[in-house]
Structure 1
Amino acid sequence: MLERKALKKNEPERCILIGAITQEQNEIKSQEYINELKFLAQTAGTKSIKVFQQKLDKPDPNTFLGSGKMDEVNNFIKTEKIDIAIFDDELTPSQLKNIERILNIKVLDRTNLILDIFASRARTSYARNQVMLAQYEYLLPRLTRLWTHLERQKGGIGMRGPGETQIETDRRIIKDKISGLKKKLEKIDRQMASQRGNRGKLVRAALIGYTNVGKSTLMNTLSKSNILAENKLFATLDTTVRKIVIQNLPFLLADTVGFIRKLPTQLIESFKSTLDEVREADLLLHVVDLSHPSYRDHMKSVDEILKDIGTKEKPELVIFNKIDSLSKDPEGKERAEEIQQEISEALKGNCVFISATKKSNFVTLKKKIYNLASTIHSERYPYNSFLYEIE
């Protein structure tokens, strides 16, 4: 029987990270994903010890890696006392079962890791139910894996949420759980939709963007509130809405959960309320971490999700954050100015460059938001007089 060894109190689990280099995912792209996976693992509370990557035409349908590389991984696990193997792609149920049998340790894939982080971050009953629904839907096709009864496991990352308490993990019970959670969430969704409808004749804006780009910090500054903002992935799960006033224009601003590459389908479907805030927004404020080397890919990932949910045609202002990280020296400042010029030309000026932490260029930011929001307001609510009370 597979059992995790007991960990000393406060000792992080030791993990290895495993990825594939393929024609669809070259070496550079694979390394970017692995770096992101390492940050995900750190956010989940585990310690990354080593990275294993293998060039493959396509992942092995049985074990993801080839037999030789799997032997290398297995030997390292035994020598270095590794607790978890984390794969950078979603494993099929059969791959998961086969790999656990070979490695004899806990095996997670990227989807399971993200779900685990969401479980640890959920602070409200609604968010917890959303995460539980996603976890159960992930669990359902994997009930025949080696660790069928989750109560045998001893906790740690990948085991939060339903895995800690669910004992009888047969399909009927899981399906009943999924059905019950969907009904509960549908009821809350209707209530939240009603609340959104009662917000009055105000323009609705939504902060969107990749995870950990500074949306909550920007929200705090604009609204003078105190939303949790951390240098961790998915610090925000629950949608927060604040009333903002710029000059004479009040509008509603929603801070939404961050997106990520390879975002699990279960989460996209489960986090309906966040997506509804985006769908029903009049204006999208797309925050981008300009200091991140993969910021273009991050923008593309967000754009793809917006397209999937039918909101890509909404008015959008792209807010490039963390410009202070690019201009710490004269050479960096010059390069930052060149990048800003290139981006501004490409986006036809529909962007702004700021530092949310240092409040740099906030006058320009507020002016651009005001111009967009006031135009929308005049079109939607032409008889509201407060727009015309300012000179």
Structure 2
Amino acid sequence: MIEKKDVALEKAVLIGIITKDQDEVQSKEYLDELEFLTYTAGGEVVKRFTQKMEKPDSRTFIGSGKMEDVRQFIDEHHVGTAIFDDELSAAQERNISKILNVKVLDRTNLILDIFAQRAQTSYARTQVELAQCEYLLPRLRGMWTHLERQKGGIGMRGPGETEIETDRRIVRDKIALLKQRIKTIDKQMAVQRGNRGKMVRVALVGYTNVGKSTLMNVVSKSEVFAENKLFATLDTTVRKVVIQNLPFLLSDTVGFIRKLPTQLVESFKSTLDEVREADLLLHVVDISHPNFEEHIASVNKILGEIDSSDKPTIMVFNKIDAYKPEPIDEDDLETERTKANYTLEEWKKTWMNKIGNNALFISALNKKNLDDFKKRVYDEVREIHVTRFPYNNFLYPDYNEFDVDDA
């Protein structure tokens, strides 16, 4: 019998910069996220490098002195991958590769790689391949010499590792073919959406890893893949859900992220049709994350890009069981109280108070406050339904007329 061995994680270093637009605190937050992305892709971060700069160096992103520090560390610790937190130009990538003599990735390349791992359906795989080709096209010149030294791993899934001889014309032809294939699948999916009848459509949206799939499983009593990794869900899942006697369609969509690559937003716009065509959005937020307000802003930005920012939205603050405010010494009068010290009750008195009953606080994992969640969703879906079909009003009485335990 063959003994199973753990797959060795690929050693990587992270490189970021601190600028006037991205201070030290933000830089650390982005690198924390980049480390989680690296772990999701199958890597292990052994060191981080940061440098204060006015703007990235046009040749090597960071200065020559700091680059030499990175090179020495990589040589001494046998690191195979250097990952930069911002998108590198083709020239920067080539120059850095010559200096470090290892695989060089940026945040975009890393996210594309994770998507390549996570894509399960032919549709998702086609969209990922399109994004990879569009990312690859401007980087073809001088790229193959260092690609020939690569042995696969993070960032090397896709056209790069198997088509060394690819030139711009072939890649452009490939992009045209993939776009045509996506257009064909889009037509098929549009027919499928049309065949769902006139049911109210509800879409779960939110930052990646906020618990959308877990909430989907609880509400729809289905088994959607959920894992504590970024982009655990890539393919859109749609389930028919019934609360009391009111049916509606609930869709779970790909999670959003800060600095989301332009190629992915473009390639996955068709996947996000479920969001565009939804009657109601459930914006799920991981309130236990220290940067959840930034996450909300990132999601709202992408919703604006796909013309969905004006849809009726319920904010669902998830993971209240994991929320822990930072303690503060009440006797220390000099320490200023910040948002990090807020209790949930104090948060509810901030801008969240203006949302009113469109702000819900739950734990999908522990099923806490799910009755309140179901009641609010029921009321909103019912209002949309009876507005659309007023003659069906008598079929769906107020939620309070039901026994809550039956929800």
Give TM-score scaled by structure 1 length: 0.94
Q: Alpha-carbon deviation of 1:123?
A: 0.7
| Aligned equivalents of 2:157, 2:243: Cα separation in 1 | 42
Q: Alpha-carbon deviation of 1:371?
A: 1.2
Q: Could you tell me which residue of structure 1 aligns to residue 292 of structure 2?
A: 295
Q: Alpha-carbon deviation of 1:157?
A: 0.5
Q: Could you tell me which residue of structure 1 aligns to residue 321 of structure 2?
A: 324
Number of residue pairs matched by the alignment: 384
Q: Partner amino acid for 2:362?
A: I
Asked whether 1:217 is paired with 2:214, we answer yes
Q: Could you tell me which residue of structure 1 aligns to residue 85 of structure 2?
A: 88
Q: Alpha-carbon deviation of 1:188?
A: 0.2
Q: How does 1:1-391 map to 2 (within 5 A)?
A: 10-148=7-145, 150=147, 153-326=150-323, 335-384=343-392, 387-388=395-396, 391=401
Which shows bigger deviation, 38-47 or 330-339?
330-339
| Aligned equivalents of 1:136, 1:148: Cα separation in 2 | 18
| Aligned equivalents of 1:387, 1:339: Cα separation in 2 | 38
Is the CA contact 2:382–2:396 (under 8 Å) kept in the aligned structure 1? no
Q: Partner amino acid for 2:343?
A: R
Q: Partner amino acid for 1:298?
A: H
Q: Alpha-carbon deviation of 1:309?
A: 1.3
Secondary structure of the 2:356 match is: coil
Secondary structure of the 2:50 match is: strand
Q: Partner amino acid for 1:35?
A: D
Q: Partner amino acid for 2:380?
A: L
| Aligned equivalents of 2:140, 2:129: Cα separation in 1 | 16
Is the CA contact 2:288–2:324 (under 8 Å) kept in the aligned structure 1? no
Q: Over aligned residues, Cα RMSD in angstroms? A: 2.1
Which shows bigger deviation, 146-155 or 358-367?
146-155
Q: Alpha-carbon deviation of 1:339?
A: 1.9
Q: Alpha-carbon deviation of 1:160?
A: 0.9
Residues 307-344 of structure 1, C-alpha deviation per residue, up to 9 Å, x if partnerless? 11111110000000000012699999982222234353
Q: Alpha-carbon deviation of 1:9?
A: 8.2
Q: Alpha-carbon deviation of 1:376?
A: 1.0
Which shows bigger deviation, 270-279 or 239-248?
270-279
Is the CA contact 1:148–1:169 (under 8 Å) kept in the aligned structure 2? no
Residues 181-226 of structure 1, C-alpha deviation per residue, up to 9 Å, x if partnerless? 1000100011111111121111001000000000000000000000
| Aligned equivalents of 2:129, 2:148: Cα separation in 1 | 16
Q: Could you tell me which residue of structure 2 aligns to residue 5 of structure 1?
A: none
| Aligned equivalents of 2:273, 2:382: Cα separation in 1 | 22
| Aligned equivalents of 1:269, 1:46: Cα separation in 2 | 27
| Aligned equivalents of 1:343, 1:325: Cα separation in 2 | 21
Once the two structures are aligned, what percentage of the paired residues are identical? 63
Distance 1:75 1:123, change over 3 A: same
Residues 26-54 of structure 1, C-alpha deviation per residue, up to 9 Å, x if partnerless? 11111110000000000000110000000
Distance 1:250 1:148, change over 3 A: farther
Residues 86-108 of structure 1, C-alpha deviation per residue, up to 9 Å, x if partnerless? 00000000000110011110000
| Aligned equivalents of 2:395, 2:283: Cα separation in 1 | 25
| Aligned equivalents of 1:329, 1:53: Cα separation in 2 | 26
| Aligned equivalents of 1:89, 1:311: Cα separation in 2 | 27
| Aligned equivalents of 1:175, 1:124: Cα separation in 2 | 23
Give ranges in structure 1 of 5+ residues lacking alignment: 1-7
Give ranges in structure 2 of 5+ residues lacking alignment: 329-339, 402-407
| Aligned equivalents of 1:296, 1:114: Cα separation in 2 | 22
Is the CA contact 1:323–1:355 (under 8 Å) kept in the aligned structure 2? yes
Give TM-score scaled by structure 2 length: 0.90
